[in-house]
Amino acid sequence: MTKTLLIKNARVVVTMDEQRREIDNGAIFVRGNVIEQVGPTPELPQTADEVIDASGHVVTPGLVNTHHHMYQSLTRVIPAAQNGELFNWLTNLYPIWANLNSEMVHVSTLTAMSELILSGCTTSSDHLYIYPNDCKLDDSIEAASKIGMRFHAARGAMSVGQSKGGLPPDRVVEDEKAILKDTQRLIETYHDANRHAMQRVVVAPCSPFSVSQDLMKEAAVLARSYGVSMHTHLAENVNDIAYSREKFNMTPAEYAEDCGWVGHDVWHAHCVQLDDDGVYMFAKTGTGVAHCPCSNMRLASGIAPIRKMVDAGVPVGLGVDGCASNDGAHMLGEARQAMLLQRVGFGPDAMTARQALELATLGGAKVLNRDDIGAIKPGMSADIVMFKLDQIAFAGALHDPVAALVFCTPSNVNYSVINGKIVVKDGLLQTIDLPLVIERHNQLASDLALATGTRKVA
Ligand SMILES: [Zn+2]
């Protein structure tokens, strides 16, 4: 018999269904890994194999993170990279990342996923684009499966080093044939195209300034021959635009189109400097955007025109981005920053709390090209998170607990259910020993900093 799970008595269940229903005294009945019924508690089955009393909790669909570099959890607040813009920041970090190894990738992925899960995220993408020493994408995929997170593993790559006019040092770039071969191996080994899949592989050359036009084009052909999604960085700041104009005589959006990188199976990180023609073209082709407001502020890249993109019909999700450019990777916090930053740029009605929550759930699902996550309704994957309301952060805000999630200080979850399994219970991760992981992570971060002679700021 398939196991059942009942979540009942919720103060409110935010469904994100077609009517955007918010159900007071709500309940959810799950069979196996799929949601079977949603409604007011009295109308649902009264028992199940496992029952969670969600009294005093706001229950939402698990949040979806569409852009990250989890290995960067090892290089938070590196002194030389604290105060630069993108290109300066990258050139200070590449030499440190050149010393990464397989264990570092595995442990930093566990750390980053723990932080995300505790902040309400149940599905994440990760863009690993640097493979020095014995690093492999397999290290991240194993970590996701251990912790129990739904995972879109993006096989990143860099192939144009400094000697060929690119930004990264030659010693961290790979041969293009080897990149394509390894990407194909990963798709064949790990990609699961089925509904409710926990593991998907994404084809993801790093950025226009670190790979060739040929690799972009060949990667698109490879991805489409297997029906997998494609992801890269695009139009992050003004230097990024200048590079594209100088090298390719195109805007980043034109370059993406020229390489075959538009469509519902493609999403681009940042797009802070996407022009109006680009916004229109993305909307027309269903090309997605991962909006990373904290990282954009940290690197002073600008304010992405998210209101304009959403109005035009561009699929938009949120991303915390790597921990070297957003040293606090909190998914609910990212939704809050998305709301606040749009207001700074475009006025107080540019984004509401509920719109920010929608980008973090349904928006992310669409960007990852999925129709089985992002909402609590029958037939969807059982990815459900619960926030406890009797905390200092929400004191005085209980007249609108849904908006409070986004307006108030970002809170951690009390429960998280991923694919029908309870991964966080009473605020604690159930699948790994978090204090042990943090201890090992800090040791590895220190080894990495020492290996490259990183010291404190004077
Ligand atoms: Zn990034």
- From ligand 1's centre to the CA of 205, what distance in Å? 11
Q: For residues 282 and 199, state if they share a domain.
A: yes
Q: What are phi and psi of 108, to 5 degrees?
A: -70, -30
Contacts of 165 (CB under 8 A, 6+ apart): 247
Distance of alpha carbon 117 from alpha carbon 148, whole angstroms: 10
Q: Given this model, what pLDDT does residue 41 score?
A: 98
Domain membership of residue 434 (yes or no) is no
- From ligand 1's centre to the CA of 45, what distance in Å? 44
The count of other CB atoms within 10 Å of the CB of residue 176 is: 18
- From ligand 1's centre to the CA of 292, what distance in Å? 9
**C-alpha count within 13 angstroms, C-beta hemisphere, residue 360:** 32
Domain membership of residue 445 (yes or no) is no
Domain membership of residue 433 (yes or no) is no
Domain membership of residue 439 (yes or no) is no
Average pLDDT score, the chain: 96
- From ligand 1's centre to the CA of 67, what distance in Å? 6
Q: For residues 298 and 403, state if they share a domain.
A: no
* pLDDT mean over 151-162: 96
- From ligand 1's centre to the CA of 234, what distance in Å? 9
CA-nearest of 233, 229, 80, 88 to 158 is: 233
Q: For residues 279 and 325, state if they share a domain.
A: yes
Which CATH number is 379's domain given? 2.30.40.10
- From ligand 1's centre to the CA of 69, what distance in Å? 6
Per-residue pLDDT of 262-314, as tens digits, reads 999 999 999 999 999 999 999 999 999 999 999 999 999 999 999 999 999 99
How would you classify residue 56: left for phi > 0, otherwise alpha for psi between -120 and 50, otherwise beta? left
Q: For residues 247 and 156, state if they share a domain.
A: yes
- From ligand 1's centre to the CA of 127, what distance in Å? 7
Distance of alpha carbon 84 from alpha carbon 91, whole angstroms: 10
Burial of 135 (0-12, 13-18, 19+ CB in 10 A): buried
Angle at CA of residue 152, ends 63 and 234, nearest 5°? 90
Helix (H/G/I), strand (E/B), else coil: 63: strand
Q: For residues 82 and 55, state if they share a domain.
A: no
Q: For residues 53 and 201, state if they share a domain.
A: no
Q: For residues 25 and 131, state if they share a domain.
A: no
* pLDDT mean over 11-30: 98
- From ligand 1's centre to the CA of 211, what distance in Å? 15
Q: For residues 155 and 278, state if they share a domain.
A: yes
- From ligand 1's centre to the CA of 322, what distance in Å? 6
Distance of alpha carbon 63 from alpha carbon 149, whole angstroms: 11
- From ligand 1's centre to the CA of 1, what distance in Å? 43
* pLDDT mean over 330-342: 98
Concatenate the DSSP letters of all residues of 234-281 into one string.
Answer: E--SHHHHHHHHHHHSS-HHHHHHHTT--STTEEEEE-TT--HHHHHH
Domain membership of residue 448 (yes or no) is no
Six-digit token string for 388:
């406890």
* pLDDT mean over 253-265: 97
455 band by pLDDT with thresholds 50, 70 and 90: low
Domain membership of residue 56 (yes or no) is yes
- From ligand 1's centre to the CA of 222, what distance in Å? 22
Q: Say which residue, 88 or 178, is predicted with more confidence.
A: 178
- From ligand 1's centre to the CA of 12, what distance in Å? 34
359: amino acid identity, one letter: L
- From ligand 1's centre to the CA of 449, what distance in Å? 21
- From ligand 1's centre to the CA of 122, what distance in Å? 19
Q: For residues 154 and 190, state if they share a domain.
A: yes
Per-residue pLDDT of 401-441, as tens digits, reads 999 999 999 999 999 999 999 999 999 999 999 999 999 99
Q: For residues 72 and 173, state if they share a domain.
A: yes
- From ligand 1's centre to the CA of 321, what distance in Å? 5
456 band by pLDDT with thresholds 50, 70 and 90: very low
- From ligand 1's centre to the CA of 90, what distance in Å? 11
Q: For residues 237 and 261, state if they share a domain.
A: yes
- From ligand 1's centre to the CA of 451, what distance in Å? 24
Q: Given this model, what pLDDT does residue 87 score?
A: 87
Question: What is the span of the domain harbouring residue 256?
Answer: 63-368
Q: Given this model, what pLDDT does residue 249 score?
A: 95
Inform me whether the pLDDT recorded for 457 exceeds 60. Answer: no
Please report, rounded to a whole number, the percentage of residues in the chain having pLDDT higher than 70. 99
Burial of 204 (0-12, 13-18, 19+ CB in 10 A): buried
- From ligand 1's centre to the CA of 344, what distance in Å? 23
* pLDDT mean over 207-234: 96
Per-residue pLDDT of 32-78, as tens digits, reads 999 999 999 999 999 999 999 999 999 999 999 999 999 999 999 99
b/e map 380-397, b = 16+ CB within 10 Å: bbbbbbbbbbeeebbeee
How would you classify residue 444: left for phi > 0, otherwise alpha for psi between -120 and 50, otherwise beta? alpha
Give the position of tokens 């059942």.
Answer: 4
This prediction has a pTM of 0.97
- From ligand 1's centre to the CA of 402, what distance in Å? 29
Q: Given this model, what pLDDT does residue 262 score?
A: 98
Q: For residues 169 and 313, state if they share a domain.
A: yes
Distance of alpha carbon 1 from alpha carbon 313, whole angstroms: 43
- From ligand 1's centre to the CA of 110, what distance in Å? 18
458 band by pLDDT with thresholds 50, 70 and 90: very low
Q: How many domains does the chain have?
A: 2
- From ligand 1's centre to the CA of 232, what distance in Å? 8
Q: Given this model, what pLDDT does residue 281 score?
A: 98
- From ligand 1's centre to the CA of 269, what distance in Å? 6
- From ligand 1's centre to the CA of 328, what distance in Å? 14
- From ligand 1's centre to the CA of 261, what distance in Å? 17
Helix (H/G/I), strand (E/B), else coil: 381: strand
Domain membership of residue 390 (yes or no) is yes
- From ligand 1's centre to the CA of 106, what distance in Å? 19
Helix (H/G/I), strand (E/B), else coil: 53: strand
- From ligand 1's centre to the CA of 326, what distance in Å? 10
- From ligand 1's centre to the CA of 21, what distance in Å? 34
- From ligand 1's centre to the CA of 391, what distance in Å? 33
- From ligand 1's centre to the CA of 319, what distance in Å? 9
Distance of alpha carbon 386 from alpha carbon 425, whole angstroms: 10
Concatenate the DSSP letters of all residues of 100-155 into one string.
Answer: --HHHHHHHHHHHHHHHHHTTEEEEEEEE----TT--HHHHHHHHHHHT-EEEEEE
**C-alpha count within 13 angstroms, C-beta hemisphere, residue 390:** 4
Burial of 163 (0-12, 13-18, 19+ CB in 10 A): exposed
**C-alpha count within 13 angstroms, C-beta hemisphere, residue 240:** 24
Domain membership of residue 454 (yes or no) is no
Q: Given this model, what pLDDT does residue 84 score?
A: 87
Which CATH number is 247's domain given? 3.20.20.140
Pick the last residue of a domain from 351, 368, 385: 368
Q: Given this model, what pLDDT does residue 363 score?
A: 98
Please report, rounded to a whole number, the percentage of residues in the chain having pLDDT higher than 90. 92
